[in-house]
Amino acid sequence: MPEGILCNKQVVDTKEKLNALLADKSGKQYYDEMTRLDVDTEALWATIEKTCKSRLRTWLEICAHCGMCADSCFIYLANKRDPKQVPSYKIQSTLGEIVKRKGKVDNEFMRYVMDTAWAKCTCCNRCATYCPFGIDMGVMFGYVRGLCFSHGFVPWELKIGSGMHRIYKAQMDITTEDWVDTCEWMVEEYEEDWPGLEIPVDKENADIIYTVNAREPKHYPEDLAEAAILFHIAGENWTVPSQGWEETSLAMFAGDWGACKLQVESVYAAMDRLKPKRMVVTECGHAYRATVLEGPYWAGIKSGKTPIESFHYVEWVAEALRTGKLKIDPAKKIKEPVTYQDSCNYIRNGGLGDYAREIMSYIAEDFREMKPCREHNFCCGGGGGLNGIGRYRKERNIGLTVKRDQILATGAKLVVTPCHNCWDAIRDLEEVYKIGIRWSFLKPLLLGMVEVPEHLLPREE
Amino acid sequence: MFKKILFATTSSPACDNAAKVAFDLELKWDAKLMVFHVLGVPTRGYSSFVTDVRTGETESIDPDYVEWVTEEMKYTYENLLKDSENSTLEAVIGVPHREILRKARKENVDMIIMGAHTRDEDIGATRYRSVVGSTMQKVAKSARCPVIIVSRPCTTCWKLFSNIVICTDFTKASNSAFLWAAKLSKEVNARLHIFHAVDINAGEPGKVSGQSEIEGRINEAKGRIETMYIPELKDFDNYEVGTREGTPYVEILKFAREKQADLIVMAHHTREIDPELALLGSTVEQVVLRSACPVTSVNHPDKVADE
């Protein structure tokens, strides 16, 4: 069979295609079709010749097989130091082989590549900081994912996810009406406790344009309300766009570069349209990487920068606490031992480690670093889309043990997790391994601690 | 008075008593009943997995699974559905309180009926998922319409209610609760008991109030009931006023028992909720968990005024 009905080389760009995929329980038919999917070896080689350029080729060739990357990889550590989990081996046995064989690989091999690219690497880029040559297996696996995607070898959930972006410009099926209505709804629900609370939609020339993760309006709109309340307390002049509010990119996890471009362009268009001074994104790691770090390149912006200055939520919180826009009631600081999960995408890859520490210095009395921490911290275990792929649940759960042991060693029972993927991974590790911890985003913690100016309190009649 | 009723159920025995009330109301008031079940809690990050609300198991979600759960609901409510004339069944994925509120808002319902989560594991389960507080509490706090919580068998048909107790603490929310209770009392011709409990533990911790001070506060409460509420009743005279001192929830329960109340109506305090303490914290929770009759929580003026 050259191509399957569900598993094929086409992108998902209509609701019909999307619904057909969604109706396939756990991707059963999809993965079955994948075993018979033809590999277009010529097209694969043509793509490689066109896109696998000097940096990647050099990296493949200069790897000295020294093994320095081995211990840097949490998946290698979690799997009892299985040599097949050494990053260098993982990339040489996949991309290295495809290049060596000039693209002449078969279906079984491509499935091996897919399983390696999504279940054995979360693209956390930690190995790159330990390789003496600076070879970044995370970047290379990002590239491999793109190859896999364009040839139809992509995990079912991510095929769906990238399709959502193409159809809805969001990772979930949320229309503009749904989104705007959710903003109104949250104001209705909270304005009694917070008189004057607003979620201004499409306000021009605001100081801040706020963007979110689609799962917030879809399932957890309180998160949006909490953001609004904190902006309200801080006295910010802010807005959300009616379109271009979604900052995440499952397309990036999937390697669907076309959808990546469409998605970030929708956010950049909102910036151009509303002319805010700067952008702040919610507590999400990969969203920041996609829209702030990688997005400008996908969109072909020469400067490599977003149209306006863009900030992660931790940068805004740190600034608000530093400048006194938000004041912490000293009596309400976190007293118990607390640790912080460094999200790879905005700490290691975005360099925001200092902001996280600054925040903790204001809100916690007994802050305990994980070892290693900051840029050297390990992935939560669920990054790069791994949390969401049913096919690799077992592998994901093995990987979680590294984070589990790091948390246990701190002695903290509370983990601050300002990233949706980290939040999920840490919740799941508690469910699987039951170590008795709690975890939280920053917003609810801050709301429990900030001093509320008298004039913002509701008046009791 | 009740044209659209949302019955939010866990589809488990914990909601059986609430189910009977819900279906009874549908028939007796010619209402439209929406039986609504939130089946799975989704993850925060991207995932197609949800945690089944009843079993705690991780499930992979697809249209078939939702359909299967809806079928199960039909089976669960088979007996009640036999006589039902205008009801729908629906199962959705999401965080329970959020989806219940979403549905109530979308359909503009006149009341929400829920069972109380009296089983420890239910409450534990929601806490465990880092969703602090119970579904009932969050719905009661934010819903624009009255929320009726039924935790024990309610043997009297609503149309035959003879005693309704409204507990007030004179807040704005309490005013809405009063208006709704008064409206219902008139409608079914029940006796309305307007009640206030002076909290002797309020104020400075450890301070013991003298008898004259307590009596002063009781008289003040009586005065407020006279001026705030009685004029609103106009020509309706089937009411009485009651005041007590003590720990409010205990006094409310005792008073309700004495008066053989069929229904307790009160406001759900928005300000007293500290999420960490909320499970056992508020007066409403205590009353709901211990009351022999259904409890209605009314907090907003939206669905209480006369049409």
Is residue B86 assigned to a domain? yes
Q: Is the same domain home to A176 and A100?
A: no
Query: B33: domain CATH number?
Result: 3.40.50.620
Contact B263, B269 (CB under 8 A): no
3-state secondary structure of A415: strand
Q: Flag if A215 and B142 touch (Cβ within 8 Å).
A: no
Is residue B305 assigned to a domain? no
| Cα(B184)–Cα(A352) distance, integer angstroms | 58
pLDDT at B191 over 70: yes
Q: Is the same domain home to A111 and A226?
A: no
Amino acid at B205: P
- Per DSSP, A246 falls in state B
Percent of chain B with pLDDT over 90: 34
Is residue B287 assigned to a domain? yes
Q: Which of B38, B44, B271, B272 to mutate to test the interface with A (most CBs of A within 10 A)?
A: B44
Contact B129, B41 (CB under 8 A): yes
Domain boundary among A126, A154, A182: A154
pLDDT recorded at residue B48: 67
Q: Flag if A387 and B46 touch (Cβ within 8 Å).
A: yes
For the segment A48-73, the average pLDDT, to the nearest whole number, is: 95
Question: Hey, CA dihedral for A434, A445, B49, A397, is it positive or negative?
Answer: negative
For the ranges A48-62, B110-124, B198-212, the lowest mean pLDDT is seen at: B110-124
3-state secondary structure of B5: strand
3-state secondary structure of B113: strand
Q: Is the same domain home to B68 and B162?
A: no
Nearest-by-Cβ selection for A423 from B45, B49, B94: B45
pLDDT recorded at residue B207: 67
Contact B236, B138 (CB under 8 A): no
pLDDT recorded at residue B251: 92
The reply to whether B130 touches chain A by the CB within 8 Å rule is: yes
Phi-psi region of A352 (alpha: psi -120 to 50; beta: other; left: phi over 0): alpha
Among chain A residues, the shortest Cα distance to B46 is held by A388
pLDDT at A89 over 60: yes
CB atoms within 10 A of CB A111: 17
Q: Where are the alpha helices (DSSP H) in A134-214?
A: 137-150, 156-168, 176-190
- The alpha carbon of residue A26 is apart from the nearest alpha carbon of chain B, in Å, by 7
pLDDT recorded at residue B158: 78
CA nearest A78: which of A413, A373, A433?
A433
Q: Is the same domain home to A64 and A150?
A: yes
Query: Between B130 and A37, whose confidence is greater?
Result: A37
The reply to whether B106 touches chain A by the CB within 8 Å rule is: no
| Cα(B50)–Cα(B95) distance, integer angstroms | 10
3-state secondary structure of B36: strand
Contact B218, B241 (CB under 8 A): no
pLDDT recorded at residue B117: 59
Residue A376, CB half-sphere, CA atoms under 13 Å: how many? 10
Is residue B306 assigned to a domain? no
For the segment A112-124, the average pLDDT, to the nearest whole number, is: 97
Tell me the chain B residues in contact with residue A250 when contact means C-beta distances shorter than 8 Å.
46
Query: A144: domain CATH number?
Result: 1.10.1060
Q: Flag if A26 and B60 touch (Cβ within 8 Å).
A: yes
Q: Flag if A388 and B48 touch (Cβ within 8 Å).
A: yes
Q: Flag if A219 and B95 touch (Cβ within 8 Å).
A: yes
Beta-strand relationship, B49-52 and B263-266? unpaired
For the segment B78-85, the average pLDDT, to the nearest whole number, is: 88
pLDDT recorded at residue B283: 76
Q: Flag if A215 and B45 touch (Cβ within 8 Å).
A: yes
Query: A418: domain CATH number?
Result: 3.40.50
**What are the b/e assignments for A320-340, b being 16+ CB within 10 Å?**
bbeeebbbbeeeeebeeebbb
Q: What is the pLDDT of residues A229-286, one digit of tens each?
A: 999 999 999 999 999 999 999 999 999 999 999 999 999 999 999 999 999 999 999 9
Domain limits for position B94: 4-150
Q: Flag if B130 and A388 touch (Cβ within 8 Å).
A: no
Q: In what order do the strands lie in the sheet with A238-239?
A: A238-239, A208-211, A278-281, A309-312
Q: Is the same domain home to A336 and A315?
A: no
Percent of chain B with pLDDT over 70: 81
Q: Is the same domain home to B218 and B263?
A: yes
The reply to whether A130 touches chain B by the CB within 8 Å rule is: no
pLDDT recorded at residue B211: 84
Tell me the chain B residues in contact with residue A215 when contact means C-beta distances shorter than 8 Å.
42-46
Using alpha carbons, list the distances in angstroms from residue A51 to A11, A60, A146: 19, 14, 10
Q: Flag if A161 and B46 touch (Cβ within 8 Å).
A: yes
The reply to whether A204 touches chain B by the CB within 8 Å rule is: no
Q: Is the same domain home to B196 and B274?
A: yes
pLDDT at B307 over 80: no
Q: Is the same domain home to A314 and A204?
A: yes
Q: Is the same domain home to A245 and A201?
A: yes
Among chain A residues, the shortest Cα distance to B49 is held by A388
- Per DSSP, A201 falls in state B
| Cα(A272)–Cα(B170) distance, integer angstroms | 51
Q: How many Å separate Cα A338 from the centre of its chain?
A: 23
Domain limits for position A276: 167-320
The reply to whether B4 touches chain A by the CB within 8 Å rule is: no
Burial category of B113 from C-beta neighbours within 10 Å (exposed 0-12, middle 13-18, buried 19 and up)? buried
Q: Flag if B46 and A215 touch (Cβ within 8 Å).
A: yes
Q: Is the same domain home to B74 and B197?
A: no
| Cα(A359)–Cα(A461) distance, integer angstroms | 37
Q: Flag if B130 and A440 touch (Cβ within 8 Å).
A: yes
Look-up of token digits 């075993």:
A35
Domain boundary among A298, A320, A342: A320
Is residue A110 assigned to a domain? yes
Q: Flag if B44 and A425 touch (Cβ within 8 Å).
A: no
CA nearest B134: which of B253, B291, B279?
B279
3-state secondary structure of B35: strand
Question: Hey, CA dihedral for A292, A293, A296, A299, is it positive or negative?
Answer: negative
CA nearest B266: which of B197, B187, B186?
B197
Contact B46, A157 (CB under 8 A): yes
The reply to whether B67 touches chain A by the CB within 8 Å rule is: no
Is residue B182 assigned to a domain? yes
Using alpha carbons, list the distances in angstroms from residue B169 to B157, B166, B218: 28, 10, 12
In this prediction, residue B279 has a pLDDT band, given cuts at 50, 70 and 90, of very low
Q: Flag if A171 and B46 touch (Cβ within 8 Å).
A: yes
- The alpha carbon of residue A388 is apart from the nearest alpha carbon of chain B, in Å, by 4
Q: Flag if A157 and B270 touch (Cβ within 8 Å).
A: no
Residues 6+ apart with CB under 8 A from B210: none
Q: Is the same domain home to B133 and B233?
A: no
Among chain B residues, the shortest Cα distance to A190 is held by B142
Tell me the chain B residues in contact with residue A390 when contact means C-beta distances shorter than 8 Å.
48-49, 60
Q: Is the same domain home to B164 and B186?
A: yes
Q: How many Å separate Cα A206 from the centre of its chain?
A: 26
Is residue B302 assigned to a domain? no
| Cα(A42)–Cα(B111) distance, integer angstroms | 64
Tell me the chain A residues in contact with residue B102 when contact means C-beta distances shorter than 8 Å.
185
Q: What is the pLDDT of residues A120-147, one digit of tens each?
A: 999 999 999 999 999 999 999 999 999 9
Tell me the chain A residues in contact with residue B270 when contact means C-beta distances shorter than 8 Å.
192-193
- Respond yes or no on whether ipTM tops 0.85: no
Query: Between B268 and A436, whose confidence is greater?
Result: A436
Domain boundary among B123, B150, B177: B150
Count of domains for chain B:
2
| Cα(B237)–Cα(B241) distance, integer angstroms | 11
**Roughly what angle, to the nearest 10 degrees, separates helices A393-410 and A420-433?**
90
Is residue A455 assigned to a domain? no
- The alpha carbon of residue A358 is apart from the nearest alpha carbon of chain B, in Å, by 25
For the segment B139-150, the average pLDDT, to the nearest whole number, is: 89
Is residue B303 assigned to a domain? no
Tell me the chain B residues in contact with residue A421 when contact means C-beta distances shorter than 8 Å.
45-46
Q: Flag if A193 and B270 touch (Cβ within 8 Å).
A: yes
Q: Is the same domain home to A195 and A237?
A: yes
pLDDT recorded at residue B12: 76
Q: Flag if B47 and A424 touch (Cβ within 8 Å).
A: yes
Is residue A17 assigned to a domain? no
Domain boundary among A283, A300, A320: A320
pLDDT recorded at residue B273: 45
Backbone φ, ψ for residue A166 (5° rounding): -65, -40
Domain boundary among B106, B134, B150: B150
CA nearest A260: which of A232, A220, A289, A238?
A289
The two three-digit tokens of residue B43, written as one number: 């993850």
Q: Is the same domain home to B285 and B163?
A: yes
- The alpha carbon of residue B288 is apart from the nearest alpha carbon of chain A, in Å, by 23
Q: Is the same domain home to A302 and A173?
A: yes
CA nearest A157: which of A256, A236, A242, A63?
A256
Q: Flag if B98 and A220 touch (Cβ within 8 Å).
A: yes
CB atoms within 10 A of CB A12: 25
Q: Flag if B44 and A215 touch (Cβ within 8 Å).
A: yes
Contact B214, B230 (CB under 8 A): no
Percent of chain A with pLDDT over 90: 94
| Cα(B69)–Cα(B54) distance, integer angstroms | 11
Q: Is the same domain home to B48 and B175?
A: no
Q: Flag if B46 and A23 touch (Cβ within 8 Å).
A: no
| Cα(A405)–Cα(A167) distance, integer angstroms | 41
Query: Which residues are bridge partners to B38 per DSSP?
Result: B92
Backbone φ, ψ for residue A335 (5° rounding): -90, -35
Look-up of token digits 């009723």:
B5
| Cα(A337)–Cα(A366) distance, integer angstroms | 5
Kind plus residue range of the DSSP H or E element containing B24: helix B16-28
Count of domains for chain A:
3
Contact A209, A244 (CB under 8 A): no
- The alpha carbon of residue B199 is apart from the nearest alpha carbon of chain A, in Å, by 18
For the ranges A48-52, A69-73, A345-349, B290-294, the lowest mean pLDDT is seen at: B290-294
pLDDT recorded at residue B115: 81
Q: Is the same domain home to B175 and B265?
A: yes
- The alpha carbon of residue B150 is apart from the nearest alpha carbon of chain A, in Å, by 24
CA nearest A287: which of A308, A268, A264?
A264
Q: Is the same domain home to B198 and B259?
A: yes
Tell me the chain A residues in contact with residue B101 when contact means C-beta distances shorter than 8 Å.
189
Q: Is the same domain home to B174 and B293?
A: yes
Is residue A250 assigned to a domain? yes
Domain boundary among B96, B122, B150: B150
- The per-type count for chain A, helices as H runs and strands as E runs, is 22, 8
For the segment B274-295, the average pLDDT, to the nearest whole number, is: 66
The reply to whether B94 touches chain A by the CB within 8 Å rule is: yes
The reply to whether A438 touches chain B by the CB within 8 Å rule is: yes
The reply to whether A219 touches chain B by the CB within 8 Å rule is: yes
| Cα(A118)–Cα(A155) distance, integer angstroms | 8
Look-up of token digits 């719905």:
B139
Tell me the chain A residues in contact with residue B63 when contact means C-beta distances shorter than 8 Å.
22-23
Range 268-287 of B in CB contact (< 8 A) with A: 270-271, 275
Q: Is the same domain home to A343 and A257?
A: no
Tell me the chain B residues in contact with residue A171 when contact means C-beta distances shorter than 8 Å.
46
| Cα(A374)–Cα(A391) distance, integer angstroms | 30
| Cα(A389)–Cα(A401) distance, integer angstroms | 18
CA nearest B158: which of B116, B110, B190?
B190
pLDDT recorded at residue B124: 37
For the ranges B1-5, B18-22, B44-48, B120-124, the lowest mean pLDDT is seen at: B120-124
Q: How many Å separate Cα A353 from the centre of its chain?
A: 16
Q: Flag if B44 and A438 touch (Cβ within 8 Å).
A: no
Nearest-by-Cβ selection for A23 from B63, B144, B171: B63
Among chain B residues, the shortest Cα distance to A249 is held by B46
Q: Is the same domain home to B218 and B256?
A: yes
